[in-house]
Amino acid sequence: MNGVLVIDKPAGLTSHDVVNRVRRILGQKSVGHLGTLDPSATGVLPVVTGGLTRLAQFYLHSEKSYEGTIHFGFATDTYDADGEATTPQQKVELDLEELRMRAAEFRGNIQQVPPPFSAKKIAGVRAYKLARRKQEVALQPVEVEIKEFAILGVEGNNCNFRARVASGTYMRSVAHDLGQKLGCGAHLKLLRRTAVAEFGIEDAHTLEDLQEATQKGSVGDVAVHPRKLLPQFPCVTANDESAAMIRSGRAVNLPELSRERLVKVFYGQRQLIAIATRIAGTLFHPGMVFVDSGS
């Protein structure tokens, strides 16, 4: 199978665990994912299979959306509910308007220090490996962009939020830093990813859904329609002659797309056969060809 599946990742599994399960369900080795999700988090995890794993390069900087809950009163070493407390527990009385005012300070381009338990590297070693050994983790701040961070409501020591962020942003760090601003400590209690790039929670299916579809021979029903992929690139449908040239790696004329740099080339409605790059005028070279693509 060559395709894209949006898995609704359950809590407790790493993104790599999900990829391994998809490999077993589909019975194929070539499977990858588009954007790591923490083990405790749930929600949208796009999984690419077969030849379409090569599309991953187009999703390295994808925007992501989240919903979640921040717990105030103490911080943890992982910045989430799986970690050990690093500050004494405090009694807090949350004020919704104050929280919203503080949340506004995080919007835009900000400097953020990644969590100690993260995949960031320090002298070539993953930070979480150093943290597990109780070694010092001195991560440098990086610039991230938070496009939306809305406090939706307060329940006891918790606040619910919605966020939309650029790639590389850690919501765990947002929770931790918000707790520091309020002087009471905080950590990310729950996190659910609702979108990655064009893939939303409405497109997501559980691993059990995928297993059932595979047994019924209807995996295509749970896969993302190929025409929905990479909506920033226009589509063109090749005829038999052009499709044959593209599959053999030869350049073709696509006069209706003379102003585009990259285009998706389909054969029929569902078969994505190439991503082509304009090389001159109306001449496009199929730089990325998907043999026997589609689902």
Domain locations in the chain as residue ranges: 3-60+198-224, 64-196, 228-289
Q: CATH top-level class for 3-60+198-224?
A: alpha beta
Active site residue 38: yes
- Structure-block tokens of residue 214: 């595979």
Distance between CA atoms of residues 159 and 105, nearest Å: 16
What's the CATH number for 64-196?
Answer: 3.30.2350.10
36, 236, 271, 283, 284 from 260: Cα distances, Å: 31, 11, 21, 11, 10
Q: What is the CA radius of gyration of the chain?
A: 22
Distance between CA atoms of residues 213 and 294, nearest Å: 16
> Which of the pair, 282 or 153, is modelled with greater confidence?
153
Distance between CA atoms of residues 86 and 176, nearest Å: 11
Q: Can you tell me whether residue 43 is helix, strand or coil?
A: strand
Does 64-196 match 3-60+198-224 at the fold level? yes
Q: Please report the pLDDT score of residue 295 as a whole number.
A: 37
Other beta carbons within 10 angstroms of residue 239's beta carbon come to 9
Q: Please report the pLDDT score of residue 1 as a whole number.
A: 86
pLDDT digits 0-9 by tens, 91-141: 999 999 999 999 999 999 999 988 876 555 545 655 455 445 565 566 788
Give the model's confidence band at 293: pLDDT under 50 very low, under 70 low, under 90 confident, else very high.
Answer: very low
DSSP single-letter state for residue 149: E
pLDDT digits 0-9 by tens, 171-182: 999 999 999 999
Q: Please report the pLDDT score of residue 265 as a whole number.
A: 94
Out of 8, 17, 38, 80, the active site residue is 38
Q: Please report the pLDDT score of residue 197 as a whole number.
A: 97
- Report the predicted TM-score, pTM, of the whole model to 2 decimal places: 0.90
Left (φ > 0), alpha (ψ -120 to 50) or beta: where does 99 sit?
alpha
Indicate the CATH number of 228-289 among 3.40.50.300, 2.30.33.40, 2.30.130.10, 3.40.50.150.
2.30.130.10
